[in-house]
Structure 1
Amino acid sequence: MEKNFKMLAKTMYGFEDVLAKELKDLGAQQVVTGTRNVSFVGDQGFMYKANLSLRTAIKILKPIYSFKARNDEQLYRQIRKVNWLDYFGPTTTFALDATIFSDFFNHSQYVIHKVKDAIVDQLRESTGERPSIDTAHPNFQINIHIQGDQCTLSLDSSGGSLHLRGYRTDTNIAPINEVLAAGLLLQSGWKGQCDFLDPMCGSGTFLIEAAMIACNIPANINRREFGFQHWNDYDDNLFEVIENALLKRVTNFNYTIVGYDKAPSAIAKAKENIKNANLEEFIKVSHEDFFKTEKNTSGPLHIVFNPPYDERLSIDIETFYGDIGNTLKREYPNSVAWFITANLEALKFVGLRPSRKIKTFNGKLEARFVKYELYEGSKRRG
C-alpha cells in the first residue's frame, strides 16, 4: 500500500479557501490553509491527481527535509546530509528557487547558491560527476523555504508553474493568468449552471477555463509534462490510471459559452487556443464590439471579463467604464456580471452599485473583482 505524505500547494493571494475546497473535493486529507498556500496529505497517486486537476494551484511541493539554520555554513552542512542520489543522478539537470522570511538570511540568490554548492559537492564526491544547472528547462526542481531559522527543503512535483496549462500558444495584449482566471471564475460561483459570456475575451482564457470547469475537465490535462515524471520513483502506469479515471468524470455541458472581442487579431488567437484545448464544440467566439451588443438568451447569463485599464492600454477611462455600465444595465437583464480591474477609480464611472468587491492581484497590480446583479426591470424587494 502506498504511503501518505504531506504536500504543499502554492496559490495566489485570496485563493486559499478556493484551493482548500478543491483539495477536499478531490479527496485530500488533513487540509490546512496558510498564506498563499494550502497543506494536505495524500499518496503518490494523489500527488499526480492534484497536479492534473487543481485549477488554483501554482505548484505542488513535496517536503523532504526540515532543519534549523542561522548562517550559510549551517545551511550548507544540513543540505549535504540529504542523500541526493535517492532523488536524481549527476546527469540530471536541476534548478532551485527560494522563499525567505528571515533575519538570518536576506538574499534569496545567495541562499540558492549555497544550496546548489552543497548538492553539487555531494554528488561530485559520490559519483565523480558534476550535475548541471538549467534554469530554463530543468529535469528536477528543488524549493528551499526559510522562515526565521526553520528551513524546509521540498521537491517541486509540478516543474513549471501550473498556470502553464499547455493550451495557450497565442496571447493578446495583457492576457490574464490561467490560475487567476480559474480562481476568479470559481469565486464568481461559476459551475456551468447557465449560459456564459466573456464580452472582451482577448485570447480566450476565461472562456477556456469556464468550459473546463463546466465539463469537469482536469485543468492541466493538456500539459506536456510534470516535474514528477523525471523522479526516480515515477510510476507511468499509475499516472495513466489516474489520468484515465479523471477523464471518465468529464461531463456534458448543455448551455452556451460565448466570447466577443472587437479586435480581429484577438478572435484569431482565441480560436487557436480553444482548438488547442479541444473545446471547439463548447465555445463560440465572434468579432463584436460589446457596446453594440445585446443579450441573446432568455435565461440567466453569467458574465465574467477582464476589461482594459490604463495601466495596460491607453483608453478614456471615464467613457469606457461608463459604457460598460450602460451596456450591462440596458442590454443584459437577468444577468450576473463580474469583472476585474486594477483601476479602482474607474469603478466610479460604471454607474451601477456592485453587490460584491473582492480584493485580488493581477500580477503585481492590486485589483478588485466586482459583481453586478442585473435585473429584469426594476429590482424586486422583499
Structure 2
Amino acid sequence: MSKRVLPVILVIVSSLLLLGLAYSFFWPTAVRPTPLSAFTAPFVYGHFQIPADNPLTKEGVALGRLLFYDKRLSADNTVSCATCHLQRLAFTDGKARSVGVSGKELAFNSMSLANTLWGPQHFFWDGRAQSLEEQALIPIQHPDEMAQDLDQLIDELTADEHYLKLFRQAYGEINAKNIAFAIASFERTLVSANSKYDQFLRGELKLSADEELGRKLFMAHPDVKASLRGGNCIDCHSQFLTSGFNAKFDGFANNGLDSDSNLKPGLEKITKMKADRGKFKVPTLRNIALTAPYMHDGRFATLRQVLDHYDQGIKVSATLSPLIMEATNQPSDSEQLQISLNLSEDEKLAIIAFLHTLTDYTFIDNENFSNPFPIKRVPHE
C-alpha cells in the first residue's frame, strides 16, 4: 500500500467514527426492545391477538406501568389512571360513578381492567374505543377525567431525563402514539387467572357443595321442560372468562335495567342504530366480589341486589336481550306474567358463593401490577 493511500484511509475511518459518535449522541440508535418472554396466558381463555405494531416488550410494559401510575398525566397532577383503577379493587375504584379532576361524577362506573386481551375489543361501557391504545388516550384528554393537553404532557415527559431514556429504549421517542402504546401494553399484562375457580379448573381443589351448585346454576340456561334449573348467567358471561362474547358487538346487551322511557343510549351512541339502545358492554365477572358497586351506573351496591334484579327486577323494553326474556325456572302453566328466573333463596346464595370463587388474590397482590412510585408517608406530629 502506498504511503499516499494510507493517510487517506485513516482520514476516512476517523471521519466515519466521528460521524457515528455524533449520530449516536443526537439520534438514538435503532430501537431493539426485549420481547416479553415471561408473559403467559391460560389456554382456556381462548385466542387473543397483540397488535402487530405494538408487540409486548419488557421495556414497553415497564414504561406503561410508570405512566399508568403517574399523576402528571392529568392537568393538575392529582389524578392518574390508577386513581379510577385501584389494584386492590381489581382495577376499579369502588364508586358508583368515577370522579376526575373536575370533581364531577362521570357518566359511568369504572370498569375492571382484568383480562382485556379477551372479550369484546370495544372498550368502555358504550364501546366507544376500538382498541386499548385508543382507550388509553380518551381519559387523559377528557375534561372531567384528567383534562390533560397531549402536547403539554409530551413537554412534561420530555423534560424528564428518566422518561426520555425509557421511551428511547421502548419506542424511540415521546409522542402521543407511544404513550398510548405503553399504557395499552401494561394493561394487556393484567391477566387474572388464579382464583379458586381457576384452581378448580386445573384440578387443584374441589369446590364446596354451595359453590358447586352455584357453578352449575351459573352455567345453565333454564329449561323447564327438561327440569333443568339455571341462573342464565353463562348466556352473556361466557365460560372461563365470564365476560362478553368477542364477535363484533355480541358482547353488549340490554339486561333489563330500565324501561323504554328511561333507556340510556349505550351502544346506540356508537352504532347510531336504535336496536342498540340500552345495550352496554358485558363486563367480566372475574374478581366481582371486589368490584362493587355494579352495573354501568353503579346502581347496585351488593351481589345480592344484582341477583334480585335478574330474578325479579327485569324491566321490559324494545331492545331487552331475548336470552333474558325467555329464561325462567317458572312452569309454563304459571299465572305469573312478569319476567322472572324464579330462583329459590338457596339457589341465589349458591350463585353468590360461586361468584366469590372468582376472586384472584394473587392478581390484586401482584407486584408487577403495583404502583412503582415511592409512597409518600405523612409524618406524625
- After TM superposition, the score normalised by the length of structure 2 is 0.26
Larger Rg: 2
**Greater RCO (CA < 8 Å, at least 6 residues apart):** 2
Answer 1 or 2: which has greater strand percent.
1
- After TM superposition, the score normalised by the length of structure 1 is 0.26
